[in-house]
Amino acid sequence: MIVNTGKLVLLGFQLTDLSSCLWALFTNNFTVTNATVLASLVEAAWTGYARQAVGALNAPTLTANVATTTPTTNPTFTNTSGVSQSFYGWMLLDSAGTTLIAAVNLGANTIPDGGLFPLAPTITDNQA
């Protein structure tokens, strides 16, 4: 069993590697499971969209026996395509952008033309 202090230490060890990862959005309504791979998700591709670097992360905290960290600056996705764009969720990719690390289906979301979507992700030591 990993004790609570160990959870904080282990997540802390991962901060440097996680900071080089990439946030991305996916547009298909896909149920994310343990077996989901990057090829299962259709990445957004509208004008103005770009993957966002994770960057610096806050020191891990512990709540209800779960170690958690968040970005010091949340990623923001834009839409300058001329029309509203829909997406279903976010994904976390390795620094090369070739391996899926995590994904969450948020349900249907729309970014209007000229609009922004501020993502407020959390990284934990638990699978959710």
Tens-place pLDDT, residues 8-28 = 999 999 999 999 999 999 999
| Strand spans (E) along 1-128 | 22-26, 52-53, 61-63, 66-69, 76-78, 85-93, 100-111, 116-118, 123-124
What's the pLDDT tens digit per position in 75-127? 999 999 999 999 999 999 999 999 999 999 999 999 999 999 999 999 997 76
DSSP bridge partners of 68: 61, 124
Q: What is the mean pLDDT of the chain?
A: 95
Q: What is the number of domains present in the chain?
A: 1
Q: What pLDDT does 1 receive?
A: 87
Task: Give this prediction's pTM.
Answer: 0.92
The two structure tokens encoding residue 3: 């004790």
Domain that holds residue 31: 4-124
With a pLDDT cut of 90, the percent of the chain lying above it is 94
